[in-house]
Copies of this chain bind each other. A is one copy, B any other.
Amino acid sequence: MELVGISKLNADYEAAMAVRKGIKLFIDESAKENFKKAGIEVAGTKVEMISDSQIVIDATPDGIGAKNKALYVSMKKPAIFQGGEDADVAEASFSALCNYDEAKGKNYVRVVSCNTTGMLRVICTLKNSFKVRKIRAVLIRRAADPREVKKGPINSILLNPVELPSHHAVDIKTVLKDLDILTMAYVVPTTLMHVHALTVQVDGNPSKEEIINALESSRRILGISKDSKIASTAEIVETFRDMGRIRYDVPEVVFFEDSIHSSNGEIFLTYAVHQESIVVPENIDAVRAMSGLKEKEESISLTDSTLGLLRGRLV
């Protein structure tokens, strides 16, 4: 795969950093003057970029992707949309571990949102080892990304939404159509990561060790031991900063081994989701699935080794 370039609307620090890193920057004709004023070098127009590409990854804000779709259709270019769009923007919603093959041959695919991507990885991994009957989840969502200086709340717990279910259960069902799942979501004043408190009803009575083994055998899921003394999103991020991860990205789901409680077929589990990076590997896999470049295991394996993703126990 080769990156033709990226497209930006605003002549800001993000655009400048992309150019500084050697990534070709394409812009909307209308923004030409702004980029010139800001002294940011431009390689061409957005339409030229799309014309030179075989597939577009649309990572625009919620709702903009749907508006952009007409352009991709008119230019006969396949496109990948993000979870901020409604499911019907695409022919299929996508989670690499859950339904890679469903994207095969499709022209429009939507990678589900960060929370849904994380939750689907965990659910599909559990489904591989156990008969999952029912899922109830509470999502404790970060309020804003670190760079988002205008978003809140800064001192409140916000029901998001008040009325059940939150969109996550609906979104999960775009991939796992028949799952009995209900989600409640709350926004809290932090920027680092989301946290999910999951309750899973399964057949039988699996042990804590069996559940940890199932999760740590999966790709893109990392366990945190009791001995690490990590009990928060801040400490997870600190670990990845110390590891030298660029931007402290954590595209892996990170679960707390000791949060697993299993009794009478009821499994409790807490894990964290890094909203900024978790969907990156899934977008890359979606390109391969749609274009038929690689089969599922080969694609996931290549993506993970390229990005340096870890598995097993983190620390």
Contact = CB atoms under 8 A, between A and B. Distances in A.
B268 A232 contact: no
Interface string A158-173: 1111111100000000
A181 interface: no
Interface stretch (A8-16, A125-133, A183-191, A210-218): A183-191
B226 A157 contact: no
Given A138-B138, A188-B189, A157 B259 contact: no
Interface stretch (A23-31, A98-106, A193-201): A193-201
Q: How many copies make up the complex?
A: 2
Contacts of A293: none
A306 interface: no
A68 to B, nearest CB: 31
Interface in A222-241: 226, 231-235
B258 A157 contact: no
A136 interface: yes
B258 A163 contact: yes
For chain A, give the interface size range: 35 or more
Given A184-B268, A190-B156, A162 B261 contact: no
Contacts of A109: none
A95 interface: no
A157 B184 contact: no
A161 to B, nearest CB: 7
B155 A256 contact: no
Contact of A155 (B161, B186, B234): B234
A64 B37 CA distance: 65
Contact of A197 (B155, B186, B258, B272): B186
Interface string A244-285: 000000000000101101000000101010000000000000
B188 A157 contact: yes
Contact of A231 (B161, B182, B258): B161
Given A157-B190, A164-B259, A164-B261, 12 more contacts: A142-B157, A155-B189, A155-B190, A155-B192, A155-B234, A157-B192, A157-B193, A159-B195, A162-B226, A163-B261, A165-B261, A188-B190
26 contacts: A138-B138, A153-B190, A153-B232, A153-B234, A155-B191, A155-B192, A156-B232, A157-B190, A157-B195, A157-B232, A158-B231, A158-B232, A159-B195, A159-B231, A159-B232, A159-B259, A160-B231, A161-B231, A163-B226, A163-B261, A164-B259, A164-B268, A182-B261, A184-B268, A186-B270, A199-B199
